[in-house]
Structure 1
């Protein structure tokens, strides 16, 4: 079986691949993750997943390389990781009491084949969040390194009123799409 590499330092992506029984190595990609002027969120996440995979594939040309990226999007704006407490409060305020999109792209590079990229879109509706809850959530430490300032797999789950799409995609790696790409490349998760 060919060597599989995850081009990400995300512990959540690592856990999700382990959850479906895959054996892989981790080599984080070092790329510029800035949004380009006028770039749509769906194009941004696909580009990031592809560029992460390409960066690692250049170093490991004989391996299968999996890249992924996730963006929380509200009002056509990408919400990255919060810079500080005020930024997290701003993001949670934008998400409070309404629906937002979570876009997760997966790219797979297989030596000698055309690269493949799939983008999965989930819709998440938050209940209203009080200022007290936002403050308490920040103190928990969870939102500090999470896109959109929340983690659906942690305490942030209490804000989720409805989810349509992929739970694992909201976490950072849509497993259905990932497994499909890998199976097409000859790697089975079952």
Structure 2
């Protein structure tokens, strides 16, 4: 599976062939990966996210991304039966939370809670905090980073801790966005491509 993407034209060409695994069930992250011109397969992590707690949102999202990576690596280890056929592989995991008025907000548990979130967002800006972790399975090295974006006041819809600002019915209601749309949607392109470069560089 070829690794290719480029910051300038959406296609970075790599002389080596890599398999890329996206450790996420998010349709939005899949779409962003395709926009970057990356070929990939999907593996999801079955973890109890509620058991992982951190005070700072930056620490929380990175801890969740790391936990997802470890869970997927454990699954891959049980399936690996022929070392000679192992392809150079990169695993990409990510997580995101919303920070509003000093509180970390994750996926709403009920419709009432979701409604309270939305009412709060109309009063003051909310901030998304997301982490991306790229693990080189050949070297075991992981490179991670955190990205933030802020949404100014506006009546917007939220799902799974992320803004649905790309929806045509929603985007006109967003007054201003400090950060890129892909950051708000849970997989910042520039950060992801930079981490891929760093992870691949370690094998050269």
Shorter-chain TM range is 0.7 to 0.9
* Other-structure match for 2:150: 123
Partner in structure 2 of residue 68 of structure 1: 94
SS at match of 1:60: helix
The whole-number CA distance in structure 2 between the counterparts of 1:36 and 1:59 is: 20
Mark the CA change 1:28 to 1:93 in structure 2 (over 3 Å): closer, same or farther. Answer: same
After superposition, residues 1-190 of structure 1 pair within 5 angstroms as 1-34=17-50, 36=52, 39-60=55-76, 63-111=89-137, 112-127=139-154, 129=155, 143=158, 145-147=159-161, 150-154=163-167, 155-186=169-200
Q: Once superposed, what is the RMSD of the aligned Cα atoms?
A: 2.1
Identify if the C-alpha distance between structure 1 residues 157 and 98 changes in structure 2 by more than 3 Å, giving closer, same or farther: same
Return the structure number with greater relative CO, CA threshold 8 A, min gap 6.
Answer: 1
For 1:38 and 1:46, how far apart are their aligned partners in 2? 10
Greater displacement, 92-101 / 14-23: 92-101
Is the alpha carbon distance of 1:86 and 1:165 closer, same or farther for their aligned partners in structure 2, counting shifts above 3 Å? same
Deviating beyond 6 angstroms after TM superposition, the runs of 4 or more aligned structure 1 residues are none
More helix by share: 1
Q: Deviation of residue 120 (structure 1)?
A: 0.3
Task: Give SS of 1:185's match.
Answer: helix
Shift of 1:38: 5.3
Ranges in structure 2 where 5+ consecutive residues have no aligned partner: 1-16, 78-85
Q: Is the 8 A contact 1:71 1:102 kept in 2?
A: yes
Query: Shift in Å at residue 83 of structure 1?
Result: 2.6
CA distance in 2, matches of 1:126, 1:159: 9
Report the CA distance between 1:34 and its aligned residue: 1.5
TM-score by length of 2: 0.76
Count how many residue pairs are aligned between Structure 1 and Structure 2.
173
TM-score (norm 1): 0.82
Name the CA distance, whole Å, in 2 between partners of 1:78 and 1:5.
Answer: 28
